[in-house]
A and B are shown apart, each in its own frame.
Chain A
Amino acid sequence: MMRWPRLHFGRSLHVREWGLLTAALFTIAAVLLVYHWLMPMYDQWTMLRAQVYAQQQELTTLERNLAMREAVEARFVELGRSVIQSESDQIILSRFLREIEAAARQPSLTLINMSPRPIDDNGTSKRYPVRLSVSGTPQDVVEFTAQVLNNSTVVGLESYSLRGVQGGHTIECTLSLWMVRLVEAAPSPDVVGDIALSQAKR
Chain B
Amino acid sequence: MGRFRRRRCAPVLLCQIVDDRLEAILLRSADSLGDPSVEPWTSKRPLPPRSQVVLLLPRSEYLIRVLELPPVEVDEVAQMLRLEIEATLPREFGDTEVAYRRLNGATATSRRYEVYAVRRESLAEHLKICEQHDVQPDCVFPTAVLWARHLGHETAVDVLAVATKGGNWELATVQGDGQVASRTIGAHGTDAATLQTGLVEYLRPLLDQRGNAMPALRVGWLGGVCPAASNGRVVFESLTDLLVAPDVDEASSVAPLLALGATTLNDMQRTPELGTANLLPQWLQQHRLERSSLRAIATIACCALLGLVLVGAALQVAVVRYHAHSAGLGGRITAIQKGGEAVGRQLEQLEAVQRARATRGDLQRVLSGLYEGTPEEVSYNHVELGREGHLRLRGQAESLSMPFVLPERLEPLPMFQHVVLRDASQSRRGQGSVVEFHMEIQLVREEASR
Q: Which residues of A contact B (CB under 8 A)?
A: 15-16, 18-19, 22-23, 25-26, 29-30, 33-34, 37-38, 41-42, 44-45, 48-49, 51-52, 55-56, 58-59, 61-63, 65-66, 68-69, 72-73, 75-76, 79, 83, 122, 124-125, 127, 138, 142, 145-146, 149-150, 154-164, 178-180, 182-183, 185, 188
- Find out whether the CB atom of A62 lies under 8 angstroms from the CB atom of B315: no
Q: List 13 A-B contacts (CB under 8 A).
A: A15-B293, A18-B294, A19-B293, A22-B297, A42-B315, A61-B340, A65-B343, A124-B348, A124-B352, A155-B356, A155-B360, A158-B387, A160-B383
Considering the complex, give the chain B residue whose CB is closest to the CB of A65.
B343
- Find out whether the CB atom of B297 lies under 8 angstroms from the CB atom of A23: yes
- Find out whether the CB atom of A66 lies under 8 angstroms from the CB atom of B340: yes
Which of B99-107, B263-271, B302-310 faces chain A?
A: B302-310
Cα–Cα, bound, A66→B330 (Å) = 17
- With A48-B326, A55-B330, A75-B350 in contact, do A26 and B301 touch (Cβ < 8 Å)? yes
- With A23-B301, A37-B312 in contact, do A182 and B353 touch (Cβ < 8 Å)? yes
Chain B nearest Cβ from A176, distance in angstroms:
8
Q: Assuming A22-B294, A51-B322, what are 17 further A-B pairs, CB within 8 angstroms? A: A15-B290, A16-B290, A22-B301, A26-B304, A38-B308, A38-B311, A41-B319, A48-B322, A59-B329, A63-B336, A68-B343, A79-B350, A142-B364, A156-B357, A156-B359, A182-B352, A188-B338
- Find out whether the CB atom of A62 lies under 8 angstroms from the CB atom of B333: yes
- Find out whether the CB atom of A76 lies under 8 angstroms from the CB atom of B340: no
Contact of B326 among A34, A55, A160 (CB under 8 A): A55
Cα–Cα, bound, A23→B301 (Å) = 7
Which of chain A's residues have a CB closer than 8 A to the CB of B348?
124-125
- Find out whether the CB atom of B298 lies under 8 angstroms from the CB atom of A22: yes
Cα–Cα, bound, A45→B311 (Å) = 12
Chain B nearest Cβ from A43, distance in angstroms:
10
Chain B interface residue count, Cβ-Cβ cutoff 8 angstroms: 62
Cα–Cα, bound, A65→B347 (Å) = 8
Which of chain A's residues have a CB closer than 8 A to the CB of B358?
156
Which of chain B's residues have a CB closer than 8 A to the CB of A23?
297, 301
Chain A nearest Cβ from B174, distance in angstroms:
41
User: Would you call B318 an interface residue if the criterion is a C-beta within 8 Å of the partner chain's C-beta atoms?
Assistant: yes
Considering the complex, give the chain A residue whose CB is closest to the CB of B394.
A163
Describe B's contact surface by its main secondary structure.
Answer: helix
Which of chain B's residues have a CB closer than 8 A to the CB of A127?
352
Contact of B308 among A16, A30, A66, A156 (CB under 8 A): A30
Chain B nearest Cβ from A192, distance in angstroms:
15
Cα–Cα, bound, A196→B427 (Å) = 77
Interface residues of B in 370-389 (CB under 8 A from A): 379-387
- Find out whether the CB atom of A146 lies under 8 angstroms from the CB atom of B364: yes
Considering the complex, give the chain B residue whose CB is closest to the CB of A69.
B343
Interface residues of B in 330-350 (CB under 8 A from A): 330, 332-333, 336-350
- Find out whether the CB atom of A48 lies under 8 angstroms from the CB atom of B384: no
Chain A nearest Cβ from B362, distance in angstroms:
5
Which of chain B's residues have a CB closer than 8 A to the CB of A146?
363-364
- Find out whether the CB atom of B360 lies under 8 angstroms from the CB atom of A157: yes
Contact of A157 among B336, B349, B359 (CB under 8 A): B359
Cα–Cα, bound, A34→B312 (Å) = 9
Interface residues of B in 13-69 (CB under 8 A from A): none
- Find out whether the CB atom of B353 lies under 8 angstroms from the CB atom of A180: yes
User: Would you call B418 an interface residue if the criterion is a C-beta within 8 Å of the partner chain's C-beta atoms?
Assistant: no
Contact of B318 among A45, A61, A68, A161 (CB under 8 A): A45
